[in-house]
Amino acid sequence: MKVTLLGDSIRRIGYGTKVPDVLGEEHTVYQPTDNCMFVKYTLRRIHKEWSEGIKGSDVIHWNNGLWDVVDYGDGPFSTVEEYVDNMVRVARLLQKQAHTVIFATTTPYYTCPGEAAPPYTNERIDAYNAAVVPRLREMGIIINDLNAFVKPHMATYIREDDRVHLTEAGIDACAAEVVRMIKQYL
């Protein structure tokens, strides 16, 4: 069985480093070597650079969001409307490649008390997740709520130095959760 993993650095330097081993040798895992960053980047790369790797997948597990919600002072990189519209486009393309597509919600930001104007807010992350999940569900996309999975364990699962990326414990836990979701559909 073939599994494709697409996603930003939560996948690339996070759970994607462990999922192939946890899934086992009986599964082929394709994942791009680059960070899938924001949804428009993913949309573009699906058409050409990643198309051969994705082809023949039984399950695709995918996330985008952290790059889209980031705000360095002039507004989020993608508006919520742009994010949802482009996520729907990605979902349509992925559904042509695999019988089962799983979307992982954007993981939370580990807020620091007193932090002035953080580039991420959980309110914005939650709003983007809340906007996209119903649209993807309507299309038959399976939802892996990594946000809800990580949120109660932020102090353990999210690195304190950047408050975005996963710790080793977070990588292990998210890899196990991603594999649990994938195995339900293999």
Per-residue pLDDT of 128-185, as tens digits, reads 999 999 999 999 999 999 999 999 999 999 999 988 999 999 999 999 999 999 999 9
Strands (E), 42-167: 59-62, 100-104, 142-144
The domain in which residue 48 lies consists of 2-183
CB burial readout 94-133, b (16+ within 10 A) else e: beebbebbbbbbbbbbbeeeeeeeebbbbebbbebbeebb
- How many domains, in total, are found in the chain? 1
Tell me the average pLDDT across 7-18: 95
The pLDDT of residue 9 is 93
Are 127 and 84 in contact, with CB atoms under 8 Å apart? no
The pLDDT of residue 141 is 99
24: number of CA atoms within 13 Å, CB side? 6
CATH number at residue 163: 3.40.50.1110
Distance CA(69)–CA(66), nearest Å, equals 5
Intra-chain end-to-end CA distance of the chain, in Å: 7
Model confidence at 20, pLDDT cuts 50, 70, 90, reads very high
The pLDDT of residue 111 is 84
- Taking only the tens place, the pLDDT of each residue in 72-131 is 999 999 999 999 999 999 999 999 999 999 999 999 999 877 776 688 899 999 999 999
Closest to 90 measured CA to CA, from 79, 80, 102, 78: 102
The pLDDT of residue 113 is 73
Q: Which two tokens stand for residue 16?
A: 């994607």
Closest to 179 measured CA to CA, from 10, 15, 9: 15
Three-state secondary-structure class, residue 162: coil
Does pTM surpass 0.85? yes
